[in-house]
Amino acid sequence: MPDIIPQKPKLLVIELWALGDLAIATPFLQAASEQFAVTLLAKPHGRDLAARLWPRVNVVPFIAPWTAFRHKYRLLSWPWKELLRLRSLRAERFEVGLSGRWDPRDHFLLRVLGARKRFGFPRAGSQFLLTNPLPHPGRLAHRYEQWRTAALALGLELPARGQIPRSPPRTSDRVMVHTGAGRPLRVWPLARYRALIEHLRLQNYNVLVACDPDQESWWQEAGETKLATPRSVTELIGLLDRTGAFIGNDSGPGHLAAILGVPTFTLFGPQLSEWFAPLHPAAKWLDGGPCPYKPCSDYCRFSSPKCLLELDEPLVCAQAAQFLAINIGKPAQCPKG
């Protein structure tokens, strides 16, 4: 009589936010899929990531209306039919449900979708929606630490952030400078990026400019000929696979680059590097100037993000050159003037 292979317990994971958030969740999803049959409720680009990074995870695409940049609580415009269709997930009879965020909306979904054990970080009374409230790792803890705490509660072990194994060295000498970001207030000015790219090319670096679709015409008018505008996460992954180092804003592409093994250099403005530094042992970053309102997620109280604008061209050029000298291996000196 053949041995009966026991089925893995079913785990529902909720991560409804941006590309960078899913990239940071990658070590958890990889470890969890070894012990659980994982279903992930995430934005549609989660499927692109799953194909490459966590192939055993079943992604259910869902764009939560409260993750919109503007007008997120105009209830009449919410996709109510899609929200109601999510209830079909109750038929999966998840033994465990988990959110890596301290977000009551996630905890409400875990309850509605019928997860028997519900793990999450309680906030604003949401502990009543959870069967297993988790202790928050601390106000200044990196976002990854929440996934480590959740993993421990499930009997999984993730390495500390500083001990994540380093990928094999990259053989490509191409530097991707990605000028986009999910929020306008996280974008270092394009004219400054253009000056930085000119500096790097004078030092014979092989620079590819990558940008968001709404920046493409600016770069074309600026005369940029080595320009890529990836229209999907899969296309972006293809570009990053042929990249030796990444320079860019606090953005999803930077987090994805780090998870794929590309050393990253990040320009932080309104957000905190303590929370969102990319997960690569060679990652470097510059923090923007001080501001009493930091951190800012969606909006800036000023007409422009002063903290990010305090990162001037000479400073960024010098620090980026040092970063590339270590990770690409070519000598890099910023030209004077």
Of 152-166, 231-245, 319-333, which gets the smallest average pLDDT? 319-333
CB 264 within 8 A of CB 299: no
Look at residue 308 in the predicted model and tell me its pLDDT.
94
Neighbours of 198 (CB within 10 A): 12
**Same domain for 147 and 24:** yes
Residues 143 and 210 occupy one common structural domain? no
| Cα-to-chain-centroid distance, residue 119 | 22
* Tally of structural domains, the chain: 2
Dihedral in degrees, nearest 10, Cα atoms 51, 56, 60, 64: -80
Give the tokens for residue 28.
């958890």
CATH number of 188's domain:
3.40.50.2000
pLDDT score at 4 = 56
Q: Tell me: the pLDDT tens digits for 44-72?
A: 999 999 999 999 999 999 988 777 666 66
Give the number of other Cβ atoms within 10 Å of residue 167's Cβ. 15
* Domain co-membership, 100 together with 130: yes
Task: Tell whether the model's pLDDT for residue 337 goes beyond 50.
Answer: no
| 315 residue type, one letter | L
Beta bridge partners of 101: none
Q: How confident is the model at residue 310 (pLDDT cuts 50, 70, 90)?
A: very high
Domain residue limits at 204: 174-327
- Amino acid identity of residue 28, one-letter, is F
- C-beta of residue 30 within 8 angstroms of C-beta of residue 112: no
Please say whether the dihedral angle defined by the alpha carbons of residues 242, 246, 252 and 253, taken in this order, is positive or negative. Answer: negative
The Cα 39–Cα 89 span in angstroms is 10
Q: Please name the residue that has the structure tokens 């893995």.
A: 8
168 within domain boundaries: no
Q: Could you report the per-residue pLDDT of 128-137, keeping only the tens digit for each?
A: 999 999 999 9
pTM for this one? Answer: 0.92
**Pair (182, 290) in one structural domain:** yes
Q: Based on the domain organization, do 27 and 147 belong to the same domain?
A: yes
